[in-house]
């Protein structure tokens, strides 16, 4: 092996634009430099690199667990392409003849719901959707969001309304517990032209830097519109006579998209880069060996890295030890800060002398209390507790800011629900 | 509530076509009647209903766990659509200018691999692909398969070849342990025009009814072709001098598609319907109450259903109790057989008299030993053990048949690897 090369004259990467000054430019910069997305020239859309795809997988896994608890089943839909393109559209020169995703799902639900015994029906799927909007901000405003969409069919309006309550709670918990993002229940101010109802219910999130309210998830109550259009009916279970007319279903849809990732990154990030909530950070702890004077000490540190990784992995911590020698510990520190990894651990002379390592918190990186010395014998309890503390502190910090902005909501496109 | 209606004159559903007589027709019939897929008129492709999507989720979850163990990370690619359609194809009137999925991934890997420290690189993604073939057999031959695809880049040819060995083992274990499908390593007989190598390695599966060999997963070693075309190089770590030329990577791709679902269903299914391996069956046990003379006994049975579901769920068994009164137990039995649910449990007078329930195995449904009486006090140990026994027996039965067909392999499109 050749000797490690000393890197001379390379400046550590840093974020050039302030979140407050130009939100869009800042957001693009932190996502690129933080290693979350990549763009390839000439291609619309963007690559979700492992740390951002890990966020989506965490969200899916949370949704999956909680949706199954309330009775959802997952299925998979094909693209709604016509089997014979000539038989649609061209024939009558009318594009509305072409089957939509809605045609597909409701035609299929009609077959599924054969009797009131099949209700409530709850089905969920994950998909990517294609939208004809320009590619501006990854996740927040992009042409190919990933999404979770579920449909429920109920026998009574009361059941349908109760379901919306459950789903709002589910989405709220997901944002609070997993993404450390505070949200509030609201609804759009305008009347929905389809349902004629005053508005759709939604949960709202606020990004201070951007000064705008964003829908974090959407809940739509379609009433009996779908059942009427697609002729989805069941027998009346309470009917006295056989001749009693069939009943129409009450139908709701619920959606959460990969904009949840964008909201999380935009809310927590700062002028140094990304700040990832520990529960959804692919790497929670980043260990790096500091420089030590002798080769014997270096070898001892290398073994220490192995031990620390084994110890932390054993208690479920997602940890990486950086053994590469092509960058200084200082360069690595900068990369770690930009990538938003919750905890950074340096292992050096202190470890050799006293079995002590230094951990640094990303969320309060500027504060003196961000730097904590930990005895390696306590590492299996201290580090997981610290990660939980960071998760909690990030939520509380965001929630404090959130309450400052909350009054604004009534003046915009949305109104708050009674809390 | 109205009284439950007695269903009169409705024949239980059954499979009309024999697997041996007409494989394609049999396969379509069992998938439709078994509730795995649904088609909507005018739409290409098909809906994967919850039991078949559960199979794909089980496969993904197995792959995810094992791929992460050997160092893979998941990412997500956009559709490779040109940002500005006018800038491709039309300009030179040459469609080959249009960026392909390969252009996208290799351009992106070139940015990722900056030094030999970044090797080996292992990235994995899940996607659906669109193919212009007619929609004949769901999963086996269809226009929109779901797939897992991973790419690895290595410093040496030896590393690349060793990786293929690991991946063949991984895919083989997946088929054997999860899907109870025996496979064999093979390679295609013809030379690959791209790599110039004798063949691609693959794992092969055989479906007796269809009398044909099918690729169950594909491993392609591209050598240095990709690195040359996309100019992916790294510094030489062993070089004495700075002027030593950069090294080209060795690149492999590995793929498994939702045809794995089709292979599993086709292999295990019989003339009575589907037979699902317990580990991938969304519902493993189906409990139904038999008719009893008195209302008091009926109520006792209803409580028994609750108890059994609680007991079995507690030990991780996926169980459904059918409380609907719109079909006779006999009708339910037929539906259960067609759907291929591994175990069926009836709860009736025997339960009331002696705390005994009868379980029936789907895999050996025709055999006298398929029917077993179990005391409810043993249920938490007996049922999980029985499910494991079914999984094992299904594999052994399939493997015995497989060995009969194995000699055929040399005469076809494939040759066997040395085992």
Strand order in the sheet with A285-289: A319-322, A285-289, A343-347, A356-361, A371-375
Q: Measured on CA atoms in the order A329, A334, A339, A341, is the torsion positive or negative? A: positive
Give the model confidence (pLDDT) of A163-187 as tens digits: 999 999 999 999 999 999 998 888 8
Give, to the nearest 10 degrees, the angle between helix B379-405 and helix B259-268. Answer: 90
Chain B residues touching A88 at Cβ < 8 A: 42
Do A130 and B79 lie within an 8 Å CB cutoff?
Answer: yes
Do A326 and B53 lie within an 8 Å CB cutoff?
Answer: no
Per the omega criterion (within 30 degrees of 0), is the bond before B120 cis?
Answer: yes
Chain B residues touching A78 at Cβ < 8 A: 43-47, 144
Question: Distance between CA B360 and CA B347 in Å, rounded?
Answer: 12
Chain A residues touching B238 at Cβ < 8 A: 1-2
- Angle (CA) B68-B69-B75 rounded to 5° is 10
Question: What do you get for the CA distance between the two ends of chain B, in Å?
Answer: 65
Do B237 and A49 lie within an 8 Å CB cutoff?
Answer: no
Q: Measured on CA atoms in the order B219, B223, B229, B231, is the torsion positive or negative? A: positive
Tokens 């938490």 label which residue? Answer: B380
**CA of B92: how far to CAs of B77, B88, B95, B298, in Å?**
27, 8, 8, 77
Q: Tell me which chain A residue has its CA closest to the CA of residue B115.
A: A326
In DSSP terms, A371 is beta-bridged to A360
Looking at mean pLDDT, say which of A92-101, A143-152, A204-213, B267-276 comes out highest. B267-276
pLDDT the model gives residue B132: 67
Chain B residues touching A324 at Cβ < 8 A: 117
Question: Distance between CA A185 and CA B257 in Å, rounded?
Answer: 41
Predicted confidence (pLDDT) at residue A1 exceeds the cutoff of 50: no
Nearest to A68 by CA among A137, A123, A144: A123
Backbone angles phi, psi at A103, to 5 degrees: -55, -45
Pairing between β-strand B47-48 and β-strand B37-38 as defined by DSSP bridges: antiparallel
- Which residues have a Cβ under 8 Å from the Cβ of B255 and sit 6 or more positions away? B147, B148, B149, B150, B217, B218, B220
Q: Which two tokens stand for residue A405?
A: 């902005």
* SS3 call for A161: helix
**CA of B295: how far to CAs of B6, B147, B301, B324, B355, in Å?**
17, 52, 10, 16, 18
Question: Distance between CA B233 and CA B365 in Å, rounded?
Answer: 59
Do B53 and A74 lie within an 8 Å CB cutoff?
Answer: yes
Mean pLDDT of A143-158: 92
Chain A residues touching B335 at Cβ < 8 A: none
At the topology level, CATH places domain B278-402 in Rossmann fold (3.40.50)
Question: Distance between CA B381 and CA A384 in Å, rounded?
Answer: 35
Do A44 and B78 lie within an 8 Å CB cutoff?
Answer: yes
Tokens 């309006």 label which residue? Answer: A157
Are A377 and A151 in contact, with CB atoms under 8 Å apart? Answer: no
pLDDT the model gives residue B310: 96
Tokens 């910069």 label which residue? Answer: A29
* SS3 call for B363: coil
Chain A residues touching B108 at Cβ < 8 A: 38, 40, 47
pLDDT the model gives residue B58: 97
pLDDT the model gives residue A392: 98
Do B237 and A2 lie within an 8 Å CB cutoff?
Answer: yes
Question: Distance between CA A42 and CA A29 in Å, rounded?
Answer: 19
Pairing between β-strand A47-48 and β-strand B285-289 as defined by DSSP bridges: unpaired
Q: For chains A and B, what is the number of CB pairs under 8 angstroms?
A: 134
DSSP for B122-151, written as a single string: EEEEEEE----S---BTTTB-SS-EEEEEE
Are B69 and B167 in contact, with CB atoms under 8 Å apart? Answer: no
Q: Tell me which chain A residue has its CA closest to the CA of residue B133.
A: A83
Chain A residues touching B119 at Cβ < 8 A: none
Mean pLDDT of A352-375: 92
Which has more pLDDT, A65 or B408? A65
pLDDT the model gives residue B99: 67
Chain B residues touching A318 at Cβ < 8 A: none
DSSP state of B325: -
Are A95 and A89 in contact, with CB atoms under 8 Å apart? Answer: yes
Q: Measured on CA atoms in the order A201, A202, A208, A212, is the torsion positive or negative? A: negative
Are A314 and A380 in contact, with CB atoms under 8 Å apart? Answer: yes
Backbone angles phi, psi at A288, to 5 degrees: -135, 140
Chain B residues touching A36 at Cβ < 8 A: none
- Which residues have a Cβ under 8 Å from the Cβ of B372 and sit 6 or more positions away? B358, B359, B360, B361, B386
The nearest CA of chain B is from the CA of A199 a distance in Å of 31
Chain A residues touching B78 at Cβ < 8 A: 43-47, 144
- A99: nearest CB among B43, B53, B81: B43
Rg (CA), chain B: 26
The nearest CA of chain A is from the CA of B88 a distance in Å of 9
How many Cα neighbours within 13 Å face the side chain of B345? Answer: 28
Do B81 and A56 lie within an 8 Å CB cutoff?
Answer: no
Do B104 and A79 lie within an 8 Å CB cutoff?
Answer: no
Give the model confidence (pLDDT) of A235-283 as tens digits: 887 766 567 788 899 999 999 999 999 999 999 999 999 999 999 999 9
Q: Tell me which chain A residue has its CA closest to the CA of residue B117.
A: A324
- B99: nearest CB among A43, A57, A99: A43
Are A290 and A346 in contact, with CB atoms under 8 Å apart? Answer: yes
DSSP for A372-404, written as a single string: EEEEGGGHHHHHHHHHHHHHHHHHHHHHHHHHH
Domain locations in chain A as residue ranges: 23-272, 278-402
Are A155 and A116 in contact, with CB atoms under 8 Å apart? Answer: yes
The nearest CA of chain A is from the CA of B101 a distance in Å of 10
Q: Domain B23-74+113-271 is of which CATH architecture? A: 2-Layer Sandwich (3.30)
In DSSP terms, A220 is beta-bridged to A253
Do B326 and A103 lie within an 8 Å CB cutoff?
Answer: no
The nearest CA of chain B is from the CA of A137 a distance in Å of 14
Give the model confidence (pLDDT) of A384-397 as tens digits: 999 999 999 999 99
Are B167 and B181 in contact, with CB atoms under 8 Å apart? Answer: no
Which has more pLDDT, A188 or B134? A188
Mean pLDDT of A359-376: 92
Nearest to B361 by CA among B342, B348, B380, B346: B342
- Angle (CA) B189-B194-B200 rounded to 5° is 35
Nearest to B214 by CA among B173, B258, B155: B258
CATH class, A23-272 region? alpha beta
**Residue A79's pLDDT band (cuts 50, 70, 90):** confident
Predicted confidence (pLDDT) at residue A4 exceeds the cutoff of 60: no
Are A276 and A361 in contact, with CB atoms under 8 Å apart? Answer: no
Are B391 and B279 in contact, with CB atoms under 8 Å apart? Answer: yes
- B79: nearest CB among A45, A99, A117: A45
Question: Distance between CA A361 and CA A383 in Å, rounded?
Answer: 11
* SS3 call for B245: coil
Do B144 and A88 lie within an 8 Å CB cutoff?
Answer: no
Chain B residues touching A50 at Cβ < 8 A: 73-75, 123
Q: What dihedral do alpha carbons A292, A298, A303, A308 form, nearest 10°?
A: 20
Do A43 and B83 lie within an 8 Å CB cutoff?
Answer: yes
Cβ-count burial of B63 within 10 angstroms (0-12 exposed, 13-18 middle, 19+ buried)? buried
Question: Distance between CA B265 and CA B32 in Å, rounded?
Answer: 12
**Which of B80, B83, B84 to mutate: most A Cβ within 10 Å?**
B83
Question: Distance between CA B134 and CA B137 in Å, rounded?
Answer: 9
The nearest CA of chain A is from the CA of B404 a distance in Å of 36
pLDDT the model gives residue A198: 58
pLDDT the model gives residue B205: 79
Question: Distance between CA A338 and CA A359 in Å, rounded?
Answer: 17
Do B1 and A238 lie within an 8 Å CB cutoff?
Answer: yes
- B48: nearest CB among A46, A76, A83: A76
Alpha helices in A216-287 (DSSP H): 225-230, 259-268
Per the omega criterion (within 30 degrees of 0), is the bond before A244 cis?
Answer: no
* SS3 call for B220: strand
**Which of A54, A77, A136 to mutate: most B Cβ within 10 Å?**
A77
Question: Distance between CA A203 and CA A189 in Å, rounded?
Answer: 13
Tell me the pLDDT of chain B (419 aa) as tens digits: 344 444 455 677 889 999 989 999 999 999 999 999 998 777 778 899 999 999 999 999 999 999 999 999 999 988 766 555 554 444 344 445 556 778 888 888 888 898 888 899 999 999 887 776 666 789 988 878 899 999 999 999 999 999 999 999 999 999 999 999 998 888 877 777 776 665 677 778 777 666 577 888 988 888 898 889 888 888 887 766 567 788 899 999 999 999 999 999 999 999 999 999 999 999 999 999 888 888 888 888 889 999 999 999 999 999 999 877 767 888 888 889 999 999 999 898 888 889 999 999 999 998 989 999 999 999 999 999 999 999 999 999 999 888 777 767 666 777 777 55
Do B40 and A88 lie within an 8 Å CB cutoff?
Answer: no
Chain A residues touching B237 at Cβ < 8 A: 1-2
Q: Exposure string (b/e) for B282-307, b if CB count within 10 Å is 16 or more? A: bbbbbbbbbebeeeebeeebeebbee
Same fold, A23-272 and A278-402: no
Predicted confidence (pLDDT) at residue A85 exceeds the cutoff of 60: no
């Amino acid at each position: 092996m050749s000797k490690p090369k000393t890197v001379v004259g390379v400046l550590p990467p840093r974020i050039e634009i302030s979140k407050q000054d130009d939100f869009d430019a800042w957001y693009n910069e932190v996502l690129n430099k933080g290693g979350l997305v990549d763009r390839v020239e000439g291609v619309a859309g963007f690559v979700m690199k492992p740390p951002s795809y890990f966020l989506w997988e965490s969200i899916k896994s949370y949704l999956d667990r909680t949706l199954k608890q309330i009775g959802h089943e997952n299925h998979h839909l094909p693209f709604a392409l016509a089997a014979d393109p000539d038989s649609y559209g061209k024939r009558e020169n009318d594009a509305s003849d072409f089957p939509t995703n809605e045609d597909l799902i409701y035609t299929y639900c009609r077959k599924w719901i054969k009797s009131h015994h099949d209700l409530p029906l709850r089905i969920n799927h994950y998909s990517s959707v294609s939208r004809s909007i320009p590619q501006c901000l990854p996740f927040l405003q992009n042409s190919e969001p990933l999404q979770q969409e579920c449909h429920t069919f109920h026998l009574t309006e009361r059941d349908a309304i109760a379901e919306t309550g459950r789903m709002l709670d589910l989405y709220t918990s997901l944002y609070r517990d997993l993404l450390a993002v505070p949200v509030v229940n609201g609804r759009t101010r305008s009347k929905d032209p389809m349902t004629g109802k005053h508005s759709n219910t939604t949960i709202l999130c606020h990004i201070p830097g951007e000064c705008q309210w964003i829908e974090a998830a959407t809940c739509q109550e379609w009433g009996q519109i779908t059942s009427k259009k697609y002729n989805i009916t069941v027998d009346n279970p309470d009917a006295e006579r056989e001749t009693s007319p069939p009943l129409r279903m009450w139908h709701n849809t619920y959606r959460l998209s990969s904009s949840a990732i964008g909201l999380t990154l935009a809310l927590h990030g700062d002028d140094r880069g990304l700040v990832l909530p520990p529960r959804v950070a692919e790497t929670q702890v980043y260990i790096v060996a500091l420089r030590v004077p002798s080769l014997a000490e270096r070898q001892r540190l290398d073994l220490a890295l192995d031990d620390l990784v084994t110890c932390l992995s054993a208690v479920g911590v997602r940890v990486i030890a950086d053994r590469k020698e092509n960058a200084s510990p200082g360069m690595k520190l900068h990369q770690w800060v930009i990538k938003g990894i919750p905890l950074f651990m340096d292992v050096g002379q202190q470890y050799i002398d006293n079995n002590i390592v230094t951990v640094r918190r990303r969320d309060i990186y500027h504060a003196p209390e961000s730097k904590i010395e930990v005895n390696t014998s306590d590492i299996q309890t201290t580090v997981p507790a610290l990660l939980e503390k960071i998760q909690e502190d990030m939520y509380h910090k965001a929630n404090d800011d959130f309450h400052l902005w909350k009054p604004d909501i009534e003046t915009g496109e949305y109104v708050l629900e009674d809390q």
